[in-house]
Amino acid sequence: MSSNSELARSHRHLNVHPLERLISIGIGACMMQSGLQRSGVGGALRLLAGGALAYRGLRGHCPLYEAYDIDTRSGHSTEMSREWQSIEASVLVSRPPNELYRTWRDFTRMPSLLSHVEKVEILDDQRSRWTVIGPMNARLDLVSRVDDDQQDRRIAWRSTPQASVETEGAVEFLPEGAGATRVKVHLSYRPPGGSIGRVVGRIFGPDAQRRLEEDLSRFKHRLDMEGDGQAAHPGTGGSPTGSRSTAGQSAFGPSGPSPNKAG
C-alpha cells in the first residue's frame, strides 16, 4: 500500500518533458565524463553539474520548474489550471475612506501599491492597460475596465472581452471606528492554457497571497510613517501613465480599479 502511495506521489511530481529528460541525462553524462578526466576545481564543478543534470533527467522532476509552477510534459494540464484562482487580504488603516478611495481610484498609482504591477496606462475614463511582472521577468499586458465605482466605498474592475487572460479585482473601504478604515482587496484570474497560461502562473504564482499581504502591510506602514494623510492624496493633474519609477517604490506597484486583477 505504501509503495503504491510513493509511486503516485512520484508521478505527481513529474514536471519535465520525456525528451527533455533524455537530453538532461545525455548532457549530464558527458559533463560527468569530462569532469572525471579533469583535475582541480574545474573538473569537480563539471562532475557536480553533470550529476545534477543526469539526476534531473532520471527523476523527471525539476525543483526550479516546481517553484514557478512550470510543467513541460507534453499535453499535461490540470482542471485547476483553468479554474478561477482568487486571493484576498485586508489591512486596517488610520485614514478615512474618502482619502483612501482617492488614492486607489488614481490607477497610475498602482505600481506604488501592488508589487506585481509595473505600469498602468490610462486609455479612457473606464479602461486602462496594466503591465504586470513576475519571477524570471515574466511580463503580461492586460486591459481592464472599471466594473463598479462607488465613491468612498468600493472600486471593482475586470478584464475586457478581448483580453488574453480573464481577471477581476475589487478594493473596498470599510469604516471601522473613528477615522479608521479597513482596506479589503480581492483579486481573481482565470488563466488560459499554453505558454500564456504558464506566464500567468509565474506572475500570479503560489506566493501571490503572501505578496498581496506584504503589499498592504507596506501601504499601511507608509501612511503611518508619512502622517498627516499626505500619502493618501493622489494629487491633481497626474500623468496618464503610472510606472514604478514615477509612482514610488513601495512594493505595492500600481493598484486600483484597473482592468487587471492584481492577483
Q: Which residue has the higher pLDDT, 30 or 251?
A: 30
- Quick one: pLDDT band at residue 70, thresholds 50, 70, 90? confident
Q: pLDDT confidence of 174, banded at 50, 70, 90?
A: very high
pLDDT of residue 167: 84
The pair phi, psi for residue 69, each rounded to 5°, is: 55, 45
Residue-range domain boundaries for the chain: 2-67, 80-247
For residue 263, what pLDDT is reported? 38
Selected residue with higher pLDDT from 133 and 47: 47
* CB contact at 8 A, 93 and 228: no
Q: Among 237, 214, 239, which residue's Cα sits nearest to residue 113?
A: 214
| Residue 110 exposed, middle or buried by CB count within 10 Å (0-12, 13-18, 19+) | buried
Greater confidence, 261 or 239? 239
Mean pLDDT of the chain: 76
Give 187-197 pLDDT, tens digit per residue.
888 766 555 56
| HSE-CB for 117 with a 13 A CA cutoff | 38
Burial 78-100 (b: 16+ CB within 10 A, else e): eeebeeebbbebbbebebbbebb
80-247, which class in CATH?
Answer: alpha beta
Q: What is the pLDDT of residue 201?
A: 60
More confident residue, 90 or 77: 90
- The confidence band for 242, taking pLDDT boundaries of 50, 70 and 90, is low
Q: Whole-model pTM?
A: 0.56
Mean pLDDT of 118-141: 82
What per-residue confidence (pLDDT) applies to 52?
92
pLDDT of 126 above 50: yes
Q: Give residue 96's pLDDT band: very low, low, confident or very high (50, 70, 90).
A: very high
Mean pLDDT of 183-188: 91
In percent, the amount of the chain with pLDDT more than 90 equals 28
Q: What value does the mean pLDDT take over residues 57-62?
A: 90
C-alpha to C-alpha distance for 261 and 8, rounded to whole angstroms: 35
| Dist. CA 189–CA 169, nearest whole Å | 9
Dihedral pair phi/psi, residue 87, rounded to 5° = -135, 155
Mean pLDDT, residues 19-45: 91
